[in-house]
């Protein structure tokens, strides 16, 4: 399972939001390129970038910062935020980004998702962000009536390379991931599921590792590594040394119930 550090970009700076609330943002670093280099030095083999300005505006805003990060590190990068048309996706992928993450258009323009999956095979990930099991759109500013499980199933069938599932109520809270929801999403798709939101400890990561045989292949970690609650070096080592076969059957059972 990959431990994937998150770099959220707002006004060109590295920030974290609380439960997706733009009014509750905390700046962690003015230099996202330096942050990216640090995470790779600490063992990250993949990075997760979110253009928060882009998600709000409906089109990419922080392309210069994203391009600089791509040029500064030698690991694959996935990027989401404001990708709502073909031109935006093509421009982003042209920077050298490995995967484009589609969110709002998965709900509003599924035909576009199908088109992009066909044009850029293996390079389109669908990000499904949910409140109480229902999909949020437009930078988490709106909540639809679409169930996360139904959308996951549909996007997998359209050719998405993976699903990133974020529980908004857990994001930025350090309360732990929503394991039951992740297990449910993984049960309806046959593509990798990446967990996002709430990771607060290495124990949380090991709980996610226990879901690896069900299809949870990665964990995005944000606030916890910025606050020091989780050492990225130690997390990468723990997950790399651990195997889901070695985890006791009752590990995390209370959270999974």
Q: Is 8 a catalytic residue?
A: yes
Reported as a single tens digit per residue, the pLDDT across 135-157 is 987 655 677 789 999 999 999 99
| pLDDT at 138 (0 to 100) | 67
Confidence of residue 51 (pLDDT cuts 50, 70, 90): very high
| pLDDT at 17 (0 to 100) | 66
Confidence of residue 256 (pLDDT cuts 50, 70, 90): very low
The overall average pLDDT reported for the chain is: 87
CB of 221 closer than 8 Å to CB of 199: yes
Domain annotation for the chain: domains and CATH numbers: 2-256 (3.20.20.70)
Confidence of residue 184 (pLDDT cuts 50, 70, 90): very high
Q: What is the mean pLDDT of residues 164-175?
A: 74
Q: What is the mean pLDDT of residues 18-29?
A: 64
Cα distance from N-terminal residue to C-terminal residue, the chain: 22
Q: Pick from 83, 140, 142: which is nearest to 117 by CA?
A: 83
Single out the catalytic residue among 42, 53, 85, 129.
129
Task: State what percent of residues in the chain have pLDDT above 70.
Answer: 86
Confidence of residue 31 (pLDDT cuts 50, 70, 90): very high
| pLDDT at 112 (0 to 100) | 97
The b/e string for 69-105 (b: 16+ C-beta within 10 A; e otherwise) is bbeebeeebbbbbbbbeeebbebbbebebbbbbbbbb
| pLDDT at 247 (0 to 100) | 46
| pLDDT at 242 (0 to 100) | 62
Tell whether the model's pLDDT for residue 255 goes beyond 60: no
Q: Is 111 a catalytic residue?
A: no
Tell whether the model's pLDDT for residue 197 goes beyond 50: yes
| pLDDT at 89 (0 to 100) | 97
Tell whether the model's pLDDT for residue 30 goes beyond 60: yes
pTM: 0.87
């Amino acid at each position: 399972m990959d431990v994937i550090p998150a770099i959220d970009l707002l006004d060109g700076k590295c920030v974290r939001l609380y439960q997706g609330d733009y009014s509750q943002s905390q700046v962690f670093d003015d230099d996202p390129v330096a942050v990216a280099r640090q995470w790779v030095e600490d063992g990250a083999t993949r990075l997760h970038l979110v253009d928060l300005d882009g998600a709000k505006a409906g089109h990419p805003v922080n392309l210069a910062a994203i391009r600089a990060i791509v040029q500064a590190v030698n690991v694959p990068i996935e990027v989401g935020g404001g990708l709502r048309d073909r031109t935006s996706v093509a421009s982003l992928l042209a920077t050298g980004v490995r995967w484009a993450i589609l969110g709002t258009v998965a709900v509003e323009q599924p035909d576009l998702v199908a088109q992009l999956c066909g044009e850029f095979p293996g390079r389109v990930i669908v990000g499904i962000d949910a409140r109480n099991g229902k999909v949020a759109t437009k930078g988490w500013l709106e909540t639809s009536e679409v169930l996360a499980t139904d959308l996951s199933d549909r996007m997998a069938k359209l050719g998405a390379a993976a699903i990133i599932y974020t529980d908004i109520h857990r994001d930025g809270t350090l309360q732990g991931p929503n394991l039951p929801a992740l297990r449910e999403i993984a049960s309806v798709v046959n593509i990798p599921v990446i967990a996002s939101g709430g990771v607060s400890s290495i124990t949380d990561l090991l709980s996610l590792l226990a879901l690896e045989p069900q299809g949870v292949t990665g964990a995005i970690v944000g606030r916890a590594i910025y606050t020091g609650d989780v050492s990225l070096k130690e997390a990468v080592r723990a997950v790399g040394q651990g195997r889901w076969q070695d985890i006791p059957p009752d590990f995390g059972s209370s959270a999974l119930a």
